[in-house]
Structure 1
Amino acid sequence: MPRGRPGEFATAPHLALRPASGEYRPFNAGHPPPAHHRREDGGSRRPGEDGGPPLGLLPGSPYPAAHGRPALGDSLLLCSDGLVEVPGQDIEAGIGRLPAAAEPVLRVPHASGGAAGHPAGRVLRAVARDVADDRTLVMVRRLGPPFTT
């Protein structure tokens, strides 16, 4: 829990991930829900719960988690609200822009190429080029054969 004066709060996404199985559980405190991009059909979905309020806003609030297991080649997208929120527009429109902007990048089996060509950087520029707010994007892709333990 954040410490500070009454009325202070913080937002945070959290992803619990088991690399060996690919299983994940996202927790959200005031951020948009993650998107699960399916490489097989190019579609995206938002798994399960939307999460809870910002930390410190409503003490004792539950933070339900969705769960899932991406197939090989699938990706998870977690972002801050600053990436998808545009003043005067419904945040759902911004949340919908993220998977659409990410799809061309995620369709490629594996991409890199320095900071300017980094896949997350290309998505950030496509979704929120002129945004003055925080713009955070975490892209997690499940690659290769499962690990053995």
Structure 2
Amino acid sequence: MRRRRARRRAGAVRQVRWGRLTRRHTMMGRQIGGTVGLVLLTAFAAVGMVLSPDWVPASTMLFILLLGVFMLRFVGMALLCATVFGALAVLSGSGVRPVPPGVFMVVALGAVAGLVFVRSRSRLGLQGAASDLMLVDLRDRLVAHGRIPALPDGWRVDSVVRSANAEAFSGDFVVAARSQHGQMLEIVLVDVSGKGQEAGVRSLLLSGAFGGLLGAMPREAFLPAANNYLLDQNWPEGFATAIHIAVRLSTGEFWVSTAGHPPAVQLHAGSGRIQRLDTTGGPALGVVVAPLFAVHTGVLQHGDTVMLYTDGLIETPGADVELGIDRLMGAAERFVSTRSGGADAVLAGVRAGEGDDRGLILIHRD
């Protein structure tokens, strides 16, 4: 039995290695083929510039360089740029087809810009046109981590996350899970330092890590574990604020804690009161070793709502944060208490600027 398992493991390892080697050879073959194809296209364009200058102008070389930016890695792109410059230099130096200095300069600037772009993309591990698909996949994974699990009748969660200036990635993200055999709903709303695409990579990393921690440990251990994870990353500006809530779906009892994050707000349906929950005192994640996080305990009665949000909804340059919280509470009272709108309506009612990431979650018990 042990020998069979050992053979199976060895076979699986060989298959993985063979798969990696095959993919590597395939990618290398595509790069070689793409480079050769564009070099030949450059030669054909040079011949076309001589035989039919009206149909094949010197600016055709810019189009070839643009194709190289989409298709090639840095080495292939450098070879293509050298080929383009060589072709233009030969045509202009021989007098067969003089190239105006202005056109030569524009092509040179385009080549330099293309090389810089391909180089920066290579440093990020993104190669060729498929890198765009990779970015889309990463963004979709970040969104998938924030999907709210299916809830029993009588419970609704409405969430919205908007990135700064409508960028593809946001520094705010949501992670949710159900634990204790589905009886406990846990949600964490995180605001990573930085904005938009600048914080997108860290958001993706943290959302995956927090998704593994959430629901896998006691609720009171989540924020300390998340803090330790950020400290282990040793990022230069690797801090994040977070608010974590755990709701017992059978009774409506909830526990909420914050780490350098704005306080949660509870809307009481019975009295119509809007209460700011006191969870102050916990520092941001990734700053202090072994911090203490205060816990607020409450109960969601039928018709009540708990609202979580990030500072992008309440902070305005030159204005008091307290005024921003009051404005948000007013929008929640206008839309949520009257059941005339959800998270999108509250976000629009606050009229927060586009210069910061914004996240909002409404947990409602019918």
How do residues 114-125 of structure 1 correspond to structure 2 at under 5 angstroms?
A: 119-125=342-348
Q: Helix, strand or coil for the counterpart of 2:312?
A: helix
Match of 2:332 among 90, 98, 102: 102
Look up the match of 1:146: none
Look up the match of 1:115: none
- Does 2:356 match 1:136? no
Q: Helix, strand or coil for the counterpart of 2:358?
A: coil
Give, as a single letter, the amino acid of the residue that structure 2 aligns with 1:81: D
Q: Deviations over 1:58-100 (max 9, x none)?
A: 2221111101002110100000111111111111111111111
Look up the match of 1:78: 308
Look up the match of 1:36: 266
Larger RCO (CA within 8 A; separation ≥ 6): 1
Q: Helix, strand or coil for the counterpart of 2:244?
A: strand
Question: Considering only CA atoms, is the larger Rg found in Structure 1 or Structure 2?
Answer: 2
Match of 1:56 among 267, 279, 286: 286
Deviation, structure 1 residue 30: 1.6
Alpha-carbon distance in 2 for matches of 1:97, 1:62: 30
Q: Helix, strand or coil for the counterpart of 1:136?
A: strand
Deviation, structure 1 residue 129: 3.9
Give, as a single letter, the amino acid of the residue that structure 1 aligns with 2:257: F
Match of 2:318 among 69, 88, 110: 88
Residue 31 of structure 1 contacts residue 80 of structure 1 at CA under 8 Å; is this kept in 2?
yes
Residue 267 of structure 2 contacts residue 337 of structure 2 at CA under 8 Å; is this kept in 1?
no
Q: What is the RMSD computed on CA atoms of the aligned residues? A: 1.7
Alpha-carbon distance in 1 for matches of 2:292, 2:246: 17
Residue 7 of structure 1 contacts residue 56 of structure 1 at CA under 8 Å; is this kept in 2?
no
Alpha-carbon distance in 2 for matches of 1:99, 1:15: 19
Alpha-carbon distance in 1 for matches of 2:281, 2:256: 8
Count of residues in correspondence between the two structures: 136
Give, as a single letter, the amino acid of the residue that structure 2 aligns with 1:50: T
% identical equivalent positions: 37
Residue 242 of structure 2 contacts residue 259 of structure 2 at CA under 8 Å; is this kept in 1?
yes
Give, as a single letter, the amino acid of the residue that structure 2 aligns with 1:138: I
Match of 1:126 among 325, 336, 349: 349
Alpha-carbon distance in 2 for matches of 1:61, 1:131: 33
Give, as a single letter, the amino acid of the residue that structure 1 aligns with 2:329: P
Give, as a single letter, the amino acid of the residue that structure 1 aligns with 2:271: D
Give, as a single letter, the amino acid of the residue that structure 1 aligns with 2:234: G
User: Please, what TM-score do these two structures have when normalized by structure 2?
Assistant: 0.35
Give, as a single letter, the amino acid of the residue that structure 1 aligns with 2:305: S
Q: Deviations over 1:89-137 (max 9, x none)?
A: 111111111111011222235x6xxxxxx61001001113433211100
Give, as a single letter, the amino acid of the residue that structure 1 aligns with 2:287: L
Q: Which runs of 5+ in 2 are unaligned?
A: 1-227
Q: Which runs of 5+ in 1 are unaligned?
A: 112-117, 144-149
Deviation, structure 1 residue 6: 5.1
Residue 314 of structure 2 contacts residue 352 of structure 2 at CA under 8 Å; is this kept in 1?
no
